[in-house]
Structure 1
Amino acid sequence: MVQYKEGEIMNNNLTIDSSYKKAIEICGVTATINNTDAKILIKEASDEYGIDYKKIISSTSFNQGNYVFINGVQYLIVDTEEQMSQSIYNVGTFRKINHVAKFVDSETIYQLPCISTNVSKDRLPITAETAGIVEGSGIWSFIAPLNDISKKIRKGKRFLINGDAWEVVSTDCVTEEGIFYTILKQGSINIENDDIVNGVADGLTIPTYTISLSSNNLNLYYNDVSQILATCTKNSVADTSPTITYLSSDPTIATVNANGYITVQNITGSATITVNYHNIIATVTVNASEKPHVYNITLPENNSSAYVGDTYQLNPTCRLDGEVVSNPVISYSSDNTAVASVNGFGLITLLSQGNCNIICSYNGVSASINLTVNVHIYEITLSENSTSIIQDGTYQINATCKKDNIIVDNPNIVYSSSDSNIAIISNTGEITAVNIGNVDITCVYEGVSSILSVTVNAKPVIHTYSIDLTGNSNSLYLGDTLQLTAICKDNDVTVDAPIVTWSSSDTNIVSIDSNGLLTSVALGSATITGEFNGVSTTLLLNVIERPHVYTISLSDSSKTLNVGDSYSIAATCTDNGSTVSSPVLSFTSSDTNIATVSANGTVTTITSGSVTITATYENVSASVSLTVNAQVIPTYSYTWSNGSTGLKYMSSTTFTATKTVGGTVDPNLIISYEWDSVGANLVSSGKVTMTKKANNQWTIKNVNVQTITNCVLTWKDTATGEVIYTAPFQFRYMS
């Protein structure tokens, strides 16, 4: 640690600012302030109580309560005295500490050296003796100047003072002079959670810590990353979550992060990593060097087998420092060139049966493949070794060829006959028998052969029979009969009175007697078979119903209607003379602009004119000639019994409508009404009643509407939906 006597730098002819700045640059000690690398000057000093402390001067800014690490030792800045001009450097006081500070981070304890005895009030803002603590019945009055630290004191906070624990029970006041008053009550120290500042209370022990590293010397390459593995104990018990700090003596050689991961930053040099666990120090020396090149060559396989005459291409993969090399320079060699040779491109030629190794070399490293070279084994087998053929007949040889015990598709086989006067053979293996006798057919595949012994026999007399049917209709009405006749031949000569055997596949549908007479029994299909001397012919016969004869007649052949009228067509249908109940009909109109017809035969007239309506049943139809006359448009009139569309409280009025068609009053008029939402609410609430007097007459009564209420009332012809009347209607209390 560099020390300066008072006046060595400060009394020279340079300005104070430039003197300190120069001294910091040249003579400053490497330190870390709040995890920031810095250089500082240190001056030993003591206060009026004889307590040692150190002055710190740095161009890096800092505040009271910041931590300083120097060579792995932890210090705390207890105050800041001044900041020199132009922020060139800062001056402060710091002391060595042996605890984890929790003043800012923890809500349970304040542990700073400033909370201790025998330290001047001017330097440390919170003290025990000189700040005026008054004891009484286990309760102390704590007095301190108001500052950034004392402002954080609240009820329930805890302090360590003279080795005892104290808890704030109240904060009384702050005087005009800026003096802060608070009341503390003594408690007990939790040795596991409360770090010690000024000794230990009676009966308690200071924890002991140890740290050991997995290695104290690491030889690493540039850009390597390695983690420091530390084993920490507290009171001889393993600390599974230790708080450890790491510091590199030369970050240009090696850096270290908060988790102990070292990263090598240079290709040469050494750096010391300091590991601090509760001020217990361990170190690791990191020796950096440049990583040598690593060459590698690999083959897809190390062993292979092949056959004489084959070629085999090697495809090795070469790597430099783990990266695949494009177009590497590789040398190839064979340790047995009689078995296999290899050219400069890695192409192997297999020469003879045996074993050999092919070696691939690349920049001093090699890989090899062991080759087993075999000779191909060929086989040919026939489906049979002997056969007989009729003169003029043919026979196809079925040969199976194998190469190395594997069946060959489309093998190249050479065939030959020992006597072509008896049998000849094609290049596809088909034998044709020429004359009676014995002959051998030889089949050769890749030098191996197999022989088929063939006997050619005389051609026998062969009868060729045939049978055909006459009268072979494919359908037969139910209940009918049909006579079948068979024409039989032997070697194309018609046989007189042939013996034919007849059968039916389903006698429940069609039966047949020994003479070929068919009788239809039921609807369906059956196959009739006629057999003669082992040959047969068949007839598929369908038994069907006799065809239907349909008729249709309509109730009217002509009809006259008015526009808007409707008319239902009535039809009578027969099937083979019998009336059909509920026949399925279809209807069409010759002019849908004049009249339309529905699927059930209802005609609706649209405009005047003539139109034909056609009804169809199965394949027959009938028509109605329809004349449509113009429609007479009805007119409507109405009266109110009170002569108006207003109704006062507790009065009534009657609405009467009249419909006239072609000058004649329609006695069948039925009317209905519709209120808007206001009127509908009056009716539903019973304030207005609607009473039907006749189909065309209603009485309205104002039962309990005493304020002016406007609504809309509509009257309609119920049958047609025509609006007879619509207008505003008013209810009121008086006229």
Structure 2
Amino acid sequence: MRRNSFNRFLLMALSLLLVFGNGGLALAATTVTVSKIVLNTSELSLSIEDTYVLTATAVYSDTTSGDVTVNADWSSDKPAVASVYNGIVTAKAEGTATIVAVYTYSDGTKYSQAATVTVTKKVKALTQNVQSFDLRKGETDSIILTATYSDNTTDATVADSAVWSTSVAAVATVVNGKVKGIASGTATITGVYGKKTITVTVNVEVAKRITVDQPELTLLLNDSATVVLTATFADGTTENVSSLATWTTSDESVADALKGVITGYKQGSAVITAQYGTKTVTIQVTVDQTSKLIVDDQSVFLKPEAAQQLKLTAVYPDETTKDVTSTAIWSSSDSGVAYVYKGKVYGYTAGTATITGTYGDKSVQVDVDVAVARYLDLSEEQLSLKTSASHTLTLTATYADGSTEDVTAKAVWSSSNELLAYVKNGAITTYKLAGTATISATYGTLETTLEVEVGSVSKLVASSENVFLQVSGTKQLSLTAVAGDGSSSDVTANATWTSSDKSVAIVSKGLITGYTVGSATITGTYNGTTTTITVDVGTARHLALSETAVNLAVNATKQIVLTATFADGTTADVTDKATWSSSDEAVAYADKGTITTYAEGNVTITASYGSKTVTLTAAVGKKNKLNVDDDSVFLRLNKTQQLVLTAIDANGASSVVTDSAVWTTADDNIATVTKGLITGYKSGTTTVTAVYGGKTVTVTVNVETASRLNLTISKLNLGIDQSKDVTVMASYEDGTTQDVTEDAVWSTDNEDVADVNNGTVTAYSTGSAVITASYGGKKATIKVTAGTPSKLTLQAKTVELEEDETYQVVATGKYSDGSDLVLTDDVEWSTSDEQVAEVEGGLITAVDTGTAVITAKIGDVSVAITVNVGLVDELAPNVTLVTLSPADKEQITLTATGSDGTEIDVTEDADWTSAKTTIATVKKGLVTGVAKGKTTVTASYGGQKVTVNIEVDQISSIKASVSNLALKSGESAKVTATITFSDGKTKDVTAKAEWQSGSYKIVAVTGGTVKAVAYGKSYVTAKYGGKAVKVPVTVDVLKYLEVSQMNLSLSVGQSVQLVATATFEDGSEADVSKTAVWASTKELTATGKNGLVKANSKGTAYISVKYGGKTVKVKVVVK
């Protein structure tokens, strides 16, 4: 009906075209046809009960198109899975269906198009394993999705199929449920699967708390101070987040903050707030408009009679300044040490003083150090001298300014034992006595000591530790005494010598004389030190006879030589010196190595020398041995072989005694023997024995005895009622072979499965049996598998292995009767690539990286397993860009992730290459810069490759993270060093830089970690790539030193505990009572130690307290 309407429309259109003349005729002549039809999708995935509208569009030859959805005929090949009506698809059951649309054009041509519809179970619910979690930046965690379907089944592996999104990609990203933290903040992760949605909140870099090192701060006008903001995270780690936090102020006209740096702008108070993540902390800031005083040097070091001019500057609120040096009031805490006039400080005597400059209501203090040594260093750390010797020491003082001075002549020297060692102005003189003395050097308040050993012998050395002498031989030893200073002298004549056994050896002034065979210990003693020498006199280490067994005729003689080997390796003929004996002198006698025989028999001859003994055996008048020309004979039935028997007498003469010997056989049913002629009668093995002159010899005889049996096949697979002929071959000792199939005895261990008759094997029922062939005492077997399985199965389809790893595959046959049978040993195994994996008996051995297919086959049935060797799913370097300078090195770490998700470091196992070795080289991930330029290094491992970009550039500068440091003793601070390349890029080289301290007595540095050691000023230097940066460091710089009481009034015997408090430059305070130096001007009146002041007698005393370059005095009046 639709086609008729279209025909009428077409006729009307043609009529109208004819009315318009030739132009119309030309237009009517053009025929429009359908090129094709297309659907809005060719693949469709729906859940049960879902619907979807497919549309069909006809594309015409003039490139126009039209919707023909309702004009097409729609059909489904599986309406039970998905039905269709006018393009509307309805999902009904789980499965796959094909929807076809057919459109018939007016000319009768049909056009069709199809769409595949996959119908899955309808998701009833979607749940996740977590509602929220926290991540650190760069850390990852996975969300597990579990779908519950309308049939109440569940699937916990749908995360990879879900659609994931993040609310803030700058905070956290998500791929297949794996969430990665990017930056601090909170993001919502959304997962959609089967029209169900879940959300998970992710917090990145969320701190559990934040703290500030200075919650209260006082600033002068336009002054700045840096505070440190520390975040503590859930895993217990901490981080300086000053530069990452958001800083705000309650009144920016008074004070403001930027990355932890707070600046005062106007007198008043303001609250600075630092926010990091969801946490905040506040700092109370007070800006003081009061003017201040600035002195140009807060610590002065002077030599006696030297002077230094100080400059005092007053700073006013409007930032104007004025030099008030000459108008200020100046004072000194100890004018005997240092005097001050109008800011000029004069040094008088060694000591410390505090200079105070006062102007208006403000004052400043300057520490003055007049030639007070901080350290004393002796030129020797240890010293050992001979008696009656001399040695000069040098004493060096190091002052507060780091300068040094030779104060040897200025110091006070003393010795703990002047009879042993005397010292004056560093020159030590030793006397006749030996021993140890302590040398002390005192300069100012410092003292240093040195232990001196005089005339001590550290060890004695003999010219030989082991001596070997012959009897009456001599050996001269020398004895050397080594002193503590390394010098040595010959004390052979002066030492005391003793011998542990004078009957063996004696010694006089090192000359050793051997007396009798034996061992002794020689001892040499000098100045209480001893050494020992082992002496061996004439003792043989080994004896050797020229012969160990002899055969002699009666009334014969034989000369034997005895050789001794001594401790020094020399040898000597001791035949005449040894003691000889015979076990039976009636048979043979021995004297000085000559053996004389008297009667037939066997004797043992013994030779002794010193503590050593050796023996030889002598056979007198005996046949030595019998020889047969063949000790193993193989014969066929009824065949013969003649043996020849030879006797050898004691003198070595031989004679054929075949006919004279007595011949016997162990089994004459198998073989007989007559005068050495052996005849074989029956298959088997026996022995033939020949006896002559008390000697016996035996021969093994094999009569047609197979050495082994071989079957033509080792395993056999037969169908039911199928037969197969098997041949058995016997191999004999003479190398010949014989077909013994009909002569062998055949048997089966399971005749219900398979039986055998004269080598013909027949299968009867499904199963396996072992067929055995026996012949001549030998057996051979063949395994028979009856019935061809309908299917072969392996326990796995794919296996992942590392090189040299093995995996046992079990092949199971499934038969048509429903039975299963393990056929691992029966199937034929093969590999697609022996270079990757080998297989034998189902045991797969991984050879090299790659993929191979292992196939098991029996009959026409086969099955395969894929073997992946050394392949990884992912390969990841720890960096994607390395920037370094020429000759610089940087290590790249490579991590491989296996199919099971495990990660291993494969840096050294991977293959590394550089695209341009003229720019950078690489070996086992270690990149070395060669010349300026850009290149890449590639790492290959487990079938994967990764590339790292390399940029080599010249260093233009190096900077430290801080410009200066102020620390307290024992405190540490981290300084980072950053280099800048010529292209402006930067790199942290803290760990690689060379760090040095200007004075390790003040400050130490390792890998950028600076540790304060003791009071003073110094610096640390970082050097890298020819560039250097210096950071000044001050240790224990005090603003004030205060004592809890400045005036005391005590009674005799009374004591009071004072507290010394140090106020540092950063405003912090510390109790330094125990670390300060307490000294009294009159210890008879009052003493002070660790702050405890004791009244001893009536009078007045001053207790001085010194710490960190500051000194305060406490007046003590004892009543």
Bin for the TM-score computed over the shorter chain: under 0.3
Greater C-alpha Rg:
1
Q: Which has the higher contact order (CA 8 A, sep 6+)?
A: 1
Higher strand share: 2
